[in-house]
């Protein structure tokens, strides 16, 4: 019964179109496409597309993705490798990577191998998401190198038509957005009797999805800083394409696309740590998306304004400054004079109908002091199904409170969520350098005690006080703080202390804890990466816990 209930609470949020398209693709899978004749490449000026993905091969046969190396040896769908590894292979990101020992013969060899070894319409390479990323890479390569061989152009047309026939309305979210972008690229570059349909379909998708997926505060609605960065780069790609393609249908959308980029970069600036890198909320890892610096550079190139980030405010500014990112639900709290920054998650887990990249991390936070990360959520090192994927998505893997061993949102099966936490912000005071933020969430109301978790953050000159309260009867609650691996805490008579390089010291104490434990843990800043760190656990059963984080400068 519990499995049936979990499934019900997962599917009840889906949109009707998701269910209908999933059924359609099951009963009518893609098996054949009418031939596309007389395909040519349109004349487009050379575009030196910006790049952020690192080279993964030197010989065109051996590749390294997600920390794992492998050789394809003519088998692009080898069961030896995970589906995510094979997905990365089929993107052919090598076409537009940094640091590639690139030559036309090398790239031609990779593309020819893909065409030869991946007959229509089987294997990972003919799934709509891999087609989407690969098509964009192929268009960029052909335009930049002015190298469009007939057999490649014909394959691109077949791929575009296959994508059109299986647009991901059953998934929506960033997948459908990528479908739309790829169809626009194909329709703008390829000249045949199907080009107009590809272009118009892609633009229809983008018009709908941009209006829905980008919130008023600039955030992408899946609320993952990593995917947010990827999609802002995608919109920059569309703007650059529009500047060179000489198509009125793209020209009409330029102002809208520029607005998305400008607001999106402002959001990412607010959500970045002082080191300039993303925070780990929901699915997030380094090395997958472009960095903030890459995005700012690209945005300026396509005539977008990039405001100065909060962390770059002049040093004479004293006290904490709060930035409420209202629609996405995050708070960015910074102390520019000392290079401190806290990022607070008072957000929903994402869109109800597509929470696939969500974690059970409601009311978690990350903290940097003196420019260095101190407390971090534990990151993302893998996709797919399995214990470790579920653990990394769990409440216990984040800097928040777990009640009776349960997740605040019922994450399961790698990308599924059943009942989920809904947060409410109750207070936000920002006065004279002192900030108070208070929120609660309903994720534990499904438990016997119908519990509601409340959390308040109080930022003062040299301290952060986090107050947790659990309404309703329960057994045991655990508040966790995951420590960045560059920082080591020691327990001295109940006071946890650590040095932050040569900049200062940090102390953590608890009031209301039954037990405080300093445990070994792991941090996952990149896919395929496991780094040992510490986790501070405070166990409490009295309904209230106060965590005091204090620091002092060594200067």
Rounded to two decimals, the pTM is 0.96
Query: How do strand 515-523 and strand 504-511 relate by DSSP bridges?
Result: unpaired
Please count the structural domains in the chain: 1
Q: What pLDDT is recorded for position 14?
A: 97
State the DSSP code for 442.
Answer: -
Cis? peptide before 398, omega within 30° of 0: no
Cα 456 to Cα 438: distance, rounded to the nearest angstrom: 4
**Cβ of 161: how many Cβ atoms within 10 Å?**
21
Q: What pLDDT is recorded for position 101?
A: 58
Q: Secondary structure of 148-159 in the HEC alphabet?
A: CCHHHHHHHHHH
Q: Is the residue at 17 inside a domain?
A: no
CA distances from 84 to 118, 307, 384 (A): 17, 36, 8
CA distances from 391 to 384, 395, 396, 405, 442 (A): 12, 8, 8, 12, 21
Q: Is the residue at 369 inside a domain?
A: yes
Q: What pLDDT is recorded for position 58?
A: 82
Angle, helix 173-189 to helix 128-145, in steps of 10 degrees: 40
Cα 507 to Cα 487: distance, rounded to the nearest angstrom: 12
Q: Is the residue at 300 inside a domain?
A: no
Cα 161 to Cα 165: distance, rounded to the nearest angstrom: 6
**Cβ of 123: how many Cβ atoms within 10 Å?**
16
Q: Is the residue at 498 inside a domain?
A: yes
Burial of 95 (0-12, 13-18, 19+ CB in 10 A): buried
Cα 370 to Cα 355: distance, rounded to the nearest angstrom: 34
CATH code for the domain in which residue 435 is found: 2.70.98.70
Residue 1 has pLDDT above 70, yes or no: no
Q: Is the residue at 399 inside a domain?
A: yes
* DSSP β-bridge partners for residue 98: 54
Q: Which of 118, 223, 241 is nearest to 187 (CA)?
A: 241
> Which structural domain range is residue 494 located in?
317-553
**Cβ of 502: how many Cβ atoms within 10 Å?**
8
Q: Is the residue at 221 inside a domain?
A: no
| pLDDT tens digits, 370-424 | 999 999 999 999 998 899 999 999 999 999 999 999 999 999 999 999 999 999 9
Q: Is the residue at 477 inside a domain?
A: yes
Do the beta carbons of residue 368 and residue 362 sit within 8 Å? no
Stated as kind and residue range, the H or E segment containing 196 is helix 195-213
| pLDDT tens digits, 48-57 | 899 999 888 8
Helix (H, G, I), strand (E, B) or coil at 474: coil
More confident residue, 101 or 70: 70
The percentage of residues in the chain with a pLDDT greater than 90, rounded to a whole number, is: 88
| pLDDT tens digits, 462-499 | 999 999 999 999 999 999 999 999 999 999 888 999 99
Q: Measured in Å, how far apart are the chain's first and last C-alpha atoms?
A: 61
- Strands (DSSP E) along 181-275, which ranges? 190-191
| pLDDT tens digits, 137-185 | 999 999 998 989 999 999 999 999 999 999 999 999 999 999 999 999 9
Q: Which range is least confidently modeled, 45-49, 176-180, 197-201?
A: 45-49
| pLDDT tens digits, 420-457 | 999 999 999 998 889 999 999 999 999 999 999 999 99
Q: What pLDDT is recorded for position 45?
A: 86
Q: Is the residue at 508 inside a domain?
A: yes
Give the distance between the most distant pair of CA atoms in the chain: 79
The two tokens of residue 15 are 């949109």
- List, as one string, the DSSP characters of 282-308: SS--TTTSPPHHHHHHHHHHTT---PP
Residue 316 has pLDDT above 70, yes or no: no
């Amino acid at each position: 019964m519990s499995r049936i209930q979990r499934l019900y609470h997962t599917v009840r949020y889906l949109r009707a179109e998701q269910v209908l398209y999933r059924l359609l693709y099951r009963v009518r899978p893609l098996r054949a496409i009418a031939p596309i004749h007389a395909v040519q490449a349109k004349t487009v000026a050379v575009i030196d597309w910006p790049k952020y993905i690192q080279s993964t091969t030197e010989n065109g046969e051996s590749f390294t993705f997600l920390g794992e190396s492998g050789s394809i040896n003519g088998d692009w769908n080898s069961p030896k490798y995970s589906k995510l590894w094979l997905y990365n292979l089929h993107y052919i990101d090598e076409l537009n990577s940094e640091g590639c020992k690139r030559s036309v013969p090398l790239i031609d060899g990779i593309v020819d191998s893909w065409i030869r070894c991946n007959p229509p319409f089987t294997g990972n390479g003919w799934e709509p998401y891999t087609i989407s990323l690969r098509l964009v890479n192929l268009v960029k390569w052909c335009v930049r190198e002015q190298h469009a061989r007939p057999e490649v152009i014909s394959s691109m047309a077949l791929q575009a038509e296959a994508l059109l026939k299986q647009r991901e309305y059953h998934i929506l979210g960033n997948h459908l957005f990528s479908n739309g972008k790829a169809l626009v690229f194909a329709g703008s570059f390829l000249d045949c009797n199907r080009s107009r349909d590809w272009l118009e379909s892609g633009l229809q998708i983008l018009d709908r999805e941009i209006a829905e997926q980008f919130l008023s505060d600039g955030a992408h609605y899946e609320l993952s800083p990593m995917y947010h960065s990827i999609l802002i780069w995608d919109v920059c790609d569309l703007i650059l394409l529009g500047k060179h393609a000489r198509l009125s249908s793209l020209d009409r959308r330029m102002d809208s696309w520029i607005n998305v980029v400008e607001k999106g970069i402002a959001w990412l600036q607010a959500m970045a740590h002082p080191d300039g890198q993303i925070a780990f909320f929901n699915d997030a890892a380094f090395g997958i998306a472009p960095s903030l610096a890459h995005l700012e550079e690209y945005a300026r190139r396509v005539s977008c304004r990039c405001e100065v980030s909060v962390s770059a405010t002049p040093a004479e500014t004293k006290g904490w400054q709060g930035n409420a990112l209202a629609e996405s639900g995050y708070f960015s709290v910074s102390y520019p004079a000392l290079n401190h920054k806290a990022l607070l998650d008072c957000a929903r887990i994402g869109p109800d109908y597509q929470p696939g990249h969500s974690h059970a991390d409601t009311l978690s936070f990350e903290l940097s002091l003196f420019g260095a990360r101190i407390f971090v959520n534990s990151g993302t090192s893998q996709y797919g199904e399995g214990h470790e994927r579920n653990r990394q998505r769990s409440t216990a893997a984040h800097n928040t409170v777990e009640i009776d061993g349960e997740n605040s949102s019922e994450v399961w099966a790698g990308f599924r969520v059943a009942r989920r936490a809904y947060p409410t912000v109750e207070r936000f005071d920002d006065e004279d350098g002192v900030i108070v933020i208070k929120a609660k969430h309903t994720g534990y109301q499904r438990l016997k005690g119908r519990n509601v978790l409340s959390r308040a953050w109080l930022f003062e000159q040299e301290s952060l006080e986090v107050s947790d309260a659990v309404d309703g009867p329960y057994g045991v609650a655990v508040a966790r703080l995951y420590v960045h691996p560059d920082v080591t805490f020691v327990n001295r008579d109940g006071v946890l202390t650590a040095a932050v390089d040569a900049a200062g010291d940090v102390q953590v104490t608890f009031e209301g804890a039954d037990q405080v434990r300093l445990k070994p843990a792991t941090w996952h800043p990149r896919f395929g990466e496991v780094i040992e760190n510490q986790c501070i656990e405070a166990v409490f059963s009295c309904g209230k816990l106060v965590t005091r984080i204090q620091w002092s400068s060594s200067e």
